[in-house]
C-alpha cells in the first residue's frame, strides 16, 4: 500500500481496537448515492461486527465527514489498493466500477457483495436473497451478486408459495418508484411536481418523459423481443434465484410517480393447488414478509407504508378467477427498493458471512 493510501485509510477508518474481538473492517463503494447511503444506515443498525469503516465516493465528495456509530468517518476516493485489510466490501456502484474493483477487493482478501448487474448472471457468482437461497453463502465463495430490485422483492412473496405448490408461471406488472433510478430521478420527480402545480414548464433531464402525474414504460432499452431491459433482468434473475431455469415469466415494468418503494401485481400459477387461506398462513410465517390484507377496510400494500420498512408487504391474496383449474393465485406486494431491493439485502448477506 502506498504511503498516501495508508494515510487516507487512517483518516477514513472508523477506529477499532485490539479489544474488539471479531471486529471486521468494512468498505462501502458509492457511499453517497441513494443505495450507498442506505447501506451505511443498514450496516449501522445491523448485527454485523463493524470495527472499522471505509467509505468511498467521487472526488467531489472526498474529505466530507459523517458519523457512523458515533464516530467520524471521512469519505475517500477509490484507489486500486483501497481494500487492503478489508473483510467485506459492499458495492453500490455502476456496473463498470464494479467490474473493475470487485476483483481487486477479492484479491485483497475481502468478500465482495455487488449491487450492480455486473456479476448477476455469472454462473460462478451466486445471486442471493438470504431468505430464499441463503445456503449459497459459504466461506469459500468470495463474490455475491445482489439481485435487481424487482426480482429481490418479488421473490420474497413467491418463494414461500413455491415451496408449498411448485411455481410454474408468473405474470406480473410492476409500479416502480423514482428511487430505482437513483437520487437524481427522485429530485426530478419532486422538482417537476412543483413546476406542474405552479403551471410552469419543466423539461425532463434524467428520465425520458415528463414524470409528474404521469407513468411510462421503464426507462431501459427495448430489445428485439419487445421487452425492455428491466423486464429481461426480472425474468432471468427470478429463474436463477429460485433455481427454476424453465420458469415461465411474463412481466411489464412501469415507472410511476412515487418517490420510494416498488409495488407489483402478481398472478402466480402452481403445479399443486394452494388455497387462499393456506397462502395467507404460509406468507404470514415467512421471514421478511408482513401481511397487509384488510378487505373490509380496503387496506392493502402501499408504497407510502412500505417505504422505509425492511419487510415486504403482501396483500390482495385471492384466487385467480381466470384460471378454471384453481391453481393460480393473485396478490399485490410493495417493498422498499432501497432496502430489501438493494442495501438491506446486501447487508444481510454480509451478516451471514460474519
Note whether 118 and 67 are within 8 A (CB). no
Catalytic residue among 9, 218, 262, 327: 262
Rounded distance between C-alpha atoms, residue 348 and residue 329, angstroms = 29
Rounded distance between C-alpha atoms, residue 229 and residue 232, angstroms = 5
Integer angstrom CA distances of residue 35 from 175, 228, 305? 19, 23, 19
Residues 6+ apart with CB under 8 A from 177: 256, 258, 259, 260, 261, 262, 303, 337
- Is residue 262 among the annotated active site residues? yes
The full DSSP string for 145-185 is EPPPHHHHHHHHHHHHHHHHH-EEEEEEEEEE-GGGG-HHH
Q: How many CB atoms lie within 10 A of CB 101?
A: 24
CA atoms within 13 A on the CB side of 191: 14
Rounded distance between C-alpha atoms, residue 236 and residue 218, angstroms = 17
Residues 6+ apart with CB under 8 A from 82: 5, 9, 27, 54, 56, 76, 101, 104
Catalytic residue among 9, 42, 86, 149: 149
Q: How many CB atoms lie within 10 A of CB 271?
A: 11
Note whether 56 and 83 are within 8 A (CB). no
Note whether 335 and 313 are within 8 A (CB). yes
Burial class (CB in 10 A: 0-12, 13-18, 19+), 52: buried
- Is residue 253 among the annotated active site residues? no
- What are the residue numbers of the active site? 149, 262
Amino acid at each position: 500500500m502506498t504511503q498516501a493510501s495508508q494515510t487516507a485509510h487512517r483518516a477514513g477508518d472508523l477506529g477499532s481496537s485490539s479489544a474488539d474481538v471479531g471486529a471486521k473492517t468494512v468498505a462501502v463503494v458509492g457511499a453517497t448515492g441513494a443505495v450507498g447511503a442506505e447501506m451505511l444506515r443498514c450496516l449501522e443498525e445491523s448485527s454485523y461486527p463493524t470495527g472499522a469503516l471505509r467509505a468511498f465516493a467521487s472526488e467531489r465528495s472526498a474529505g466530507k465527514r459523517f458519523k457512523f456509530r458515533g464516530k467520524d468517518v471521512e469519505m475517500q476516493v477509490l484507489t486500486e489498493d483501497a481494500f487492503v485489510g478489508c473483510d467485506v466490501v459492499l458495492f453500490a456502484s455502476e456496473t463498470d466500477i464494479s467490474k473493475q474493483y470487485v476483483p481487486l477487493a477479492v484479491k485483497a482478501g475481502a468478500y465482495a457483495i455487488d449491487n450492480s448487474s455486473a456479476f448477476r448472471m455469472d454462473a460462478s457468482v451466486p445471486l442471493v436473497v438470504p431468505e430464499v437461497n441463503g445456503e449459497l453463502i459459504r466461506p469459500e465463495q468470495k463474490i455475491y451478486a445482489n439481485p435487481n430490485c424487482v426480482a429481490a422483492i418479488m421473490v420474497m412473496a413467491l418463494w414461500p408459495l413455491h415451496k408449498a405448490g411448485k411455481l410454474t408461471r408468473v405474470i406480473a406488472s410492476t409500479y416502480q418508484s423514482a428511487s430505482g433510478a437513483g437520487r437524481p430521478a427522485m429530485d426530478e420527480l419532486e422538482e417537476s411536481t412543483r413546476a406542474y402545480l405552479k403551471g410552469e414548464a419543466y423539461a425532463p433531464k434524467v428520465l425520458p418523459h415528463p414524470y409528474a402525474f404521469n407513468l411510462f414504460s421503464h426507462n431501459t432499452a427495448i430489445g428485439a423481443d419487445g421487452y425492455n431491459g428491466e423486464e429481461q433482468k426480472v425474468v432471468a434473475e427470478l429463474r436463477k434465484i429460485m433455481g427454476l431455469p424453465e420458469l415461465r415469466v411474463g412481466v411489464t415494468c412501469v415507472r410511476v410517480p412515487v418517490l420510494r418503494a416498488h409495488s407489483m401485481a402478481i398472478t402466480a400459477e402452481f403445479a399443486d393447488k394452494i388455497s387462499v387461506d393456506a397462502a395467507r398462513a404460509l406468507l404470514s410465517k415467512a421471514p421478511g414478509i408482513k401481511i397487509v390484507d384488510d378487505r373490509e377496510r380496503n387496506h392493502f400494500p402501499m408504497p407510502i407504508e412500505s417505504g422505509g420498512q425492511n419487510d415486504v408487504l403482501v396483500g390482495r391474496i385471492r384466487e385467480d378467477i381466470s384460471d378454471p383449474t384453481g391453481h393460480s393465485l393473485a396478490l399485490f406486494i410493495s417493498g422498499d427498493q432501497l432496502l430489501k431491493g438493494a442495501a438491506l439485502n446486501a447487508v444481510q448477506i454480509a451478516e451471514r458471512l460474519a
